[in-house]
Amino acid sequence: MPDTNTVTVTVPPHPEFLHILRQLAGGVSATLPLTIDDIDDLKLAVDEAASSILTRLQGSSEITLALDTDDDGLRATISSDASIDRWPGAELLGSLAWKVIAGLIPEASAERDGNGRPAIVLRMHPLTSDRR
Amino acid sequence: MTVGATGSSGSTKVDDATVLELFDRIEDDPTARESIVVLFQPLTEYLARRFTGRGEALDDLIQVANVGLLGAIDRFDPEREVQFSTYAAATIVGELKRHFRDKGWTIRVPRRLQELGLRVNRLLPAISQELGRSPTVTELAVRLEVDEEEVVDAMEAAQVYSTMSLDAPINDEGGTALDALGELDPSMERLDEWASIAPAIRELPPRERHVLYLRFFRGLTQSEIAEQIGVSQMHVSRILAQTLRLLRGSLGPEQVSQEGAQGSP
């Protein structure tokens, strides 16, 4: 059974705090056998995902990034306690933000987390450089 | 009584009584607010100048400082003991600092990290070629004989160098990305689909559009793009980050496509 480590940070729902999420994603992913291209893509996608949630939330008081790592790689879950109707809506999935996220991280999905909170989940596998 | 509206470096003095008198009229007289703005221009300029050399044009900084000044005028309470000039200076400096913080820029990158960033930059093309992919942080750390944490810090620091450097050569290779691109660019046609969602894409400089195209439509990695356009991987990373941020900033939620979804990936 794979050993999973989780690092979580919660920030206020303001753009000026998003760089903390980006930096944390960079720091945690650097502990895995991921290439620097992968790490940069993940940071960009976390930024984009958090902004996406931020611009769509209603009455959120926080944005959370949870980074789960195990032998299979990394799972980044960006979620909010906001109430967002119809998540993920066509509006999100048709947006440029989503095209960017999906373009950066092939295994990206918009779902609800265990607590029913709107979330964007990004998965990366170690050295999956099938792009190369 | 007078106060120095430009701090110790300036000679312009603003009469405190004049300012209070303007605040008295501010509710009824729209020109009073403007007069305060004009009176405190030397202060905004002086403070904006203190933030130059960090990659932002002075004009832009003065604009940011003026946002701070307007906020200070709106929130200032003449009943309080504090003088407006003191209150305004604190608000303006706060606005300027926030401006840099919002952009995720640190104020100062330690020399040690700058140097390590340059070493990473020099090493990347060779090691990427050798491995057939970009290296991991561990591989870089081993090769550079530094801690992994230092590599992460250096790469993070490289991300926060000023935007001004985007058009300047950032490594010893010389030449800018634009030189390598030549006349350009078939990418606009392919980016049309994106441009229909985000019209700001049409306004992007050719290089930024080209990098978007290579990353998202050709599926090239950042390292491959770096090689193709003749800049470092970190430079590509910055171009992408800034371009995406720019597009995001110009995209209100109401502007994103209301059309059908593409379905979950």
- In chain B, what percentage of residues exceed pLDDT 90? 18
B37 or A19: which leads in pLDDT? B37
Over residues B102-126, the mean pLDDT reads 75
Over residues B165-180, the mean pLDDT reads 39
Q: For residue B262, list chain A residues with Cβ-Cβ distance below 8 A.
A: 93-94, 98
B24 or B166: which leads in pLDDT? B24
Q: What's residue B189's pLDDT?
A: 66
Q: What's residue B201's pLDDT?
A: 84
Mean of pLDDT over chain B? 75
Q: Out of B137, B251, B265, whose CB is closest to A109?
A: B265
Q: What's residue B247's pLDDT?
A: 84
Instruction: Identify any residues that bridge with A121 across adjacent strands, giving them in sequence order.
Output: A77, A109
Contact partners, residue A1, CB within 8 Å, separation at least 6: none
Q: For residue B224, list chain A residues with Cβ-Cβ distance below 8 A.
A: 132
DSSP letter at A11 equals E
* Nearest CA distance, A128 vs chain B (angstrom): 10
Q: Which of B15-19, B75-79, B99-103, B242-246 has the lowest mean pLDDT?
A: B99-103
SS3 A24: helix
Q: What's residue A85's pLDDT?
A: 74
Residue B217: closest C-alpha in chain A: A103
H or E segment to which residue B139 belongs: helix B137-144
Query: Across the interface, do B261 and A100 touch by the CB < 8 Å criterion?
Result: no
Instruction: Identify any residues that bridge with A110 across adjacent strands, giving them in sequence order.
Output: A120
Q: What's residue B38's pLDDT?
A: 92
Q: What's residue A2's pLDDT?
A: 62
Q: For residue A125, list chain B residues with Cβ-Cβ distance below 8 A.
A: none
Residue A40: closest C-alpha in chain B: B237
Q: What's residue B163's pLDDT?
A: 35
Tens of pLDDT, residues B220-260: 999 999 888 888 888 898 889 888 888 887 433 333 333 23
Q: What's residue A79's pLDDT?
A: 94
Query: Across the interface, do A36 and B155 touch by the CB < 8 Å criterion?
Result: yes
C-beta contacts of B248-252 below 8 A and 24+ residues apart: B248/A48, B248/A51, B248/A97, B250/B198, B250/B200, B251/A95, B251/A96, B251/A97, B251/B198, B251/B200, B252/A55
Decide: residue A18, CB within 10 A, 0-12 exposed, 13-18 middle, 19+ buried: buried
pLDDT band at B183 (very low <50, low <70, confident <90, very high): very low
Q: What's residue A121's pLDDT?
A: 96
Contact in structure between B4 and B85 (CB atoms under 8 Å): yes
**In this complex, is the C-beta atom of A30 within 8 Å of any C-beta atom belonging to chain B?**
yes
Residue A7 scores a pLDDT above 80: yes
Query: Across the interface, do B253 and A56 touch by the CB < 8 Å criterion?
Result: yes
Residue B13 scores a pLDDT above 70: no
**In this complex, is the C-beta atom of A102 within 8 Å of any C-beta atom belonging to chain B?**
yes
Q: What's residue B177's pLDDT?
A: 42
Query: Across the interface, do A26 and B155 touch by the CB < 8 Å criterion?
Result: yes
Residue B57 CB neighbour total at 10 angstroms: 10
Instruction: Among B124, B150, B152, B155, pick the best mutation site for testing chain A contact (most A Cβ within 10 A).
Output: B152
B145 or B98: which leads in pLDDT? B145
Contact in structure between B22 and B32 (CB atoms under 8 Å): yes
Place of tokens 């992994």: B148
Residue B176 scores a pLDDT above 60: no
Q: What's residue B81's pLDDT?
A: 73
Over residues B37-55, the mean pLDDT reads 85
Candidates A130, A37, A36, A113; CA nearest to A68 is A113
* Nearest CA distance, A1 vs chain B (angstrom): 25
Contact in structure between A11 and A63 (CB atoms under 8 Å): yes
Q: What's residue A91's pLDDT?
A: 84
In the A/B pair of chains, how many CB contacts fall below 8 A? 126
**How far is Cα B220 from Cα B45, in angstroms, rounded to an integer?**
44
Tens of pLDDT, residues B59-70: 888 999 999 999
Residue A124 scores a pLDDT above 80: yes
Q: Out of B135, B244, B256, whose CB is closest to A48?
A: B244
**In this complex, is the C-beta atom of A84 within 8 Å of any C-beta atom belonging to chain B?**
no
Q: What's residue B8's pLDDT?
A: 41
Candidates A118, A122, A132; CA nearest to A39 is A122
Tens of pLDDT, residues A17-49: 888 999 899 999 998 999 999 999 999 999 999
Residue B211 scores a pLDDT above 80: yes
Instruction: Among B222, B228, B239, pick the best mutation site for testing chain A contact (most A Cβ within 10 A).
Output: B222
Residue A69 CB neighbour total at 10 angstroms: 22
Q: For residue B261, list chain A residues with Cβ-Cβ distance below 8 A.
A: 89-90, 92-94
Tens of pLDDT, residues A59-118: 778 999 999 999 889 999 999 988 777 788 888 888 889 999 999 999 999 998 888 889
Query: Across the interface, do A30 and B251 touch by the CB < 8 Å criterion?
Result: no
Mean of pLDDT over chain A? 87
Q: Which of B47-51, B143-147, B188-192, B239-243 has the lowest mean pLDDT?
A: B188-192
Q: What's residue B164's pLDDT?
A: 33
H or E segment to which residue A27 belongs: helix A18-29
Q: For residue A32, list chain B residues with Cβ-Cβ distance below 8 A.
A: 136
Over residues B183-193, the mean pLDDT reads 62
Query: Across the interface, do B233 and A37 touch by the CB < 8 Å criterion?
Result: yes
Outline where B167-257 has alpha helix (H). Answer: 177-181, 187-190, 192-197, 206-212, 222-229, 233-249
Contact in structure between B39 and B5 (CB atoms under 8 Å): yes
Q: Out of B240, B248, B260, whose CB is closest to A94?
A: B260
